[in-house]
Structure 1
Amino acid sequence: MENYTEFEYNLLSHKLSERVKELECLYSISRIARHHKSDLEKCLNEIIVEIPKGWQFPDKVSAFLSYGETSIGTKPNGEKFQTTSFQLTNGNKAELVVYYKTKDVGYIEQPFLYEEQFLLNQIGYEIQSLIEIEIKNQNERLIQQRLRKEDKLNLLSEITAGIAHELNTPLTNIMGYAQLLIDRETDLQKIADLEKVLKSSNHASAIVKKLMYFSCEIPSSFKDEDLNVLVKESVDLLKIQLKEKSISVSFRMDEKLPKLKMDSIQFAQVIFNLVLNAIDAMEENGKLILTTRRVNKEVRFVITDNGIGMTEEELKLLFQPFYSKKRNASGTGLGLPVSRGIIQAHQGRIEIDSEVGKGTSVTIILKV
């Protein structure tokens, strides 16, 4: 001991004390990480509280962590600070800051020790590892959800295909014999009753056809088609439904659209589904706008109504099979899933924007 002056001894003792404090801080953080590894938020909150204990003035410093849209602790505001940053695999940047809680630290000769920066870097590395594990777990959960959803849809597709085939033959027979009886019948009341049978059978047949579309059981026949003509012809077939609610229709067609490779029967089904949805969403004297335009190498077909609109929660459920928002209880919940399937078969996509009380805009985007 005689080789050291009292000052040198005190300095050495202080440095040793600081190193022990730093090691204890790292140990505590590791313990917190092990104890709360399944709850990232709680884990990081406890770590931020623990960090100051590793610095030479623990009662005067505080810690702050930010990554993505998440922040933990009180954000520093111009105080003296140390910082370390790192990049996460999801593209977000993270920053860990240790800072003095008060600006009145001018009397401190050395606010931050050289070794404390290494400690901060090590803690930053530990926090990065914890966040990356959570990102990995979230990605795995998303993948599992998608796989389960795909399995359900595949099973649903097989079930609907079977149902469609089982119903198609007897429905065809019912419609055929009903028409045959109508042709032979002279009693007006019986003819009226048979026409009701035929109408109901046609409605059931339309549902079966939707099931077959949903399960991809109907082959496609693609030819060069004029989208403008197809839209106008399809809407013309719905003039009775439009007239019943006194809905006005405006066509805003780009007359220079190129012809597109389309299955006209299937795409007409899409137009029917979307326009009928718009009609159902509107009150009397509603306004329907149908627009076509070319944008670079894409053609956009937009159906806009001024109906009741939808919430964000309802928009998320729209493409789920058998989910229906129709107010008249006639919806099967297959219209939009079928429509999206047809659009995807045309190498296109569908986008829906809606606002409660203002209306809905459905955009079909097709490649030229």
Structure 2
Amino acid sequence: MNTAEDKLRERVKELTCLYEVTSIIVNSDYDQLDASLEAIAYCLKRAWQFENVTEVFLKTGDFHVQTDDYKHDMVTLVSKIKVFNKVEGEVMVGYPSNKYTLDDFLVEEQTLLNNVALDIGNLIERKQIRDSEAITRRKMERTDRLHILGEITAGIAHELNTPLANILGFAELLTDKITDKETVRDLEKIMDSAIFSREIVKKLMFFACEMPQEMKRVQLIPIVTSVIKLLEPSLRSKNLKLTKAFDNENIELRVDTVQLTQVLFNLIMNAIYYSPKGSTITVHVLETESHISIEISDEGNGIPQELEDKVFEPFFTTKPIGEGSGLGLSVVHGIITSHKGKIEHKSNTPKGTIFTVDFPKL
């Protein structure tokens, strides 16, 4: 490239590329980032001196695009893509190695590549910020919704307690006075239904954090081991393997023992229910400086994305009618919240679900 006209033409191509890349990024759809990165790759291809043989390879995180004839043995210019000052990928522009060398690239082309890599990094940063804000917003909305549901269910539970106690009490009185066997059987059905309803009310009060607690410091691992031993028949019936991993055998936690047992029982029982026969359930207890975490993972089908925000709502269940009241996880959520902890779920790898319970060290 000897003439001023040639040099000017290259500068125009570089400026045009920067303008097009900026336009792509400004109008980028964060949900279809592959399309934006592919468009950027072809912009770069047109900006190089020998554009007819130029090929581009671009990779960052889970995204990967390349132009049609890119080969890994090409002679290339490379620029790293940084996201929040951490290298998360690279963009390479290459010529066929049988005809070109590094000396055939222009100094200005490396500068252009560096600027484009910087722009791509900024685009990925904005996508991650947006995704993080969306996750935070969903968590806040779910917390608000559960708080409102807690207040409603607490009111309902209190209103139902008195009439249920009356039904049960008067049915018991009538049972003592009546000798007709059929009538007694009918009264026993009434009492069984009242007792079942009372248990539902108790679970509602657990969800709404209305049950009295007896908080004391306890050894965590014996409680976990006791619950697992209690569930051994259910594990054997599905030929499930349960593996345990404890960071420390002497972890202490300030909790209500009965409520913690209920949390562990519900979560492990759920894992058993949704696990295919012959699979593995893992219970992992971790300890950090500020928290104690209990992870319970299974290898089931996992939680569909459209249901992720509903799993802790009362009366929501994916089990068939008659196999679940939909209060198990809502009760667990209420108990953990009352202990100033938190519960989250995420996908297991390669399949299944991991429920993580975090308790603060108090």
Give the Cα separation in 2 of the matches to 1:212 and 1:301.
Answer: 24
- Cα deviation per residue 1:262-315 (whole Å; 9 max; x = unaligned)? 4244345446645765786799xx9xx99999989999999999xxx7312369
Aligned-pair identity (%): 35
- Code of the aligned partner of 1:161: A
Equivalence map 1:112-123=2 (5 Å): 112-123=105-116
Aligned to 1:98: 93
| Selected match of 2:119 from 123, 126, 139 | 126
1:220 aligns to what SS in structure 2? Answer: coil
- Contact 1:257–1:294 at 8 Å: present in 2 too? no
Offset, 1:183: 2.4
Q: Are residues 1:64 and 2:57 paired?
A: yes
Offset, 1:61: 1.0
Give the Cα separation in 2 of the matches to 1:175 and 1:343.
Answer: 31
Aligned to 2:300: 310
Q: Are residues 1:209 and 2:202 paired?
A: yes
1:66 aligns to what SS in structure 2? Answer: strand
Matched pairs, number: 344
Report which stretch shifted further, 85-94 or 145-154.
Answer: 85-94
Aligned to 1:81: 76
Offset, 1:132: 2.2
- Contact 1:231–1:268 at 8 Å: present in 2 too? no
Structure 2, unmatched stretches of 5+, are: none
| Aligned-residue RMSD, C-alpha | 4.7
- Cα deviation per residue 1:110-165 (whole Å; 9 max; x = unaligned)? 31011111111122222222222222222222222222222221221122112111
Offset, 1:171: 0.9
- Specify the structure having the higher radius of gyration (Cα): 1
Give the Cα separation in 1 of the matches to 2:347 and 2:120.
Answer: 40
- Code of the aligned partner of 1:31: S
Aligned to 1:31: 23
| Selected match of 2:330 from 337, 340, 346 | 337
- Code of the aligned partner of 1:137: R
Give the Cα separation in 1 of the matches to 2:37 and 2:275.
Answer: 50
- Contact 1:226–1:259 at 8 Å: present in 2 too? yes
Report which stretch shifted further, 292-301 or 176-185.
Answer: 292-301
Give the Cα separation in 1 of the matches to 2:145 and 2:177.
Answer: 47
Equivalence map 1:138-149=2 (5 Å): 138-149=131-142
- Code of the aligned partner of 2:89: A
| Selected match of 2:130 from 137, 153, 160 | 137
Give the Cα separation in 1 of the matches to 2:134 and 2:148.
Answer: 21
Q: 1:140 to 1:118 in 2, by over 3 A?
A: same
1:133 aligns to what SS in structure 2? Answer: helix
Aligned to 2:190: 197
Q: 1:109 to 1:142 in 2, by over 3 A?
A: closer
Give the Cα separation in 1 of the matches to 2:199 and 2:250.
Answer: 31
2:104 aligns to what SS in structure 1? Answer: coil
1:65 aligns to what SS in structure 2? Answer: strand
Q: 1:199 to 1:360 in 2, by over 3 A?
A: farther
- Contact 1:40–1:130 at 8 Å: present in 2 too? no
- Code of the aligned partner of 1:320: F
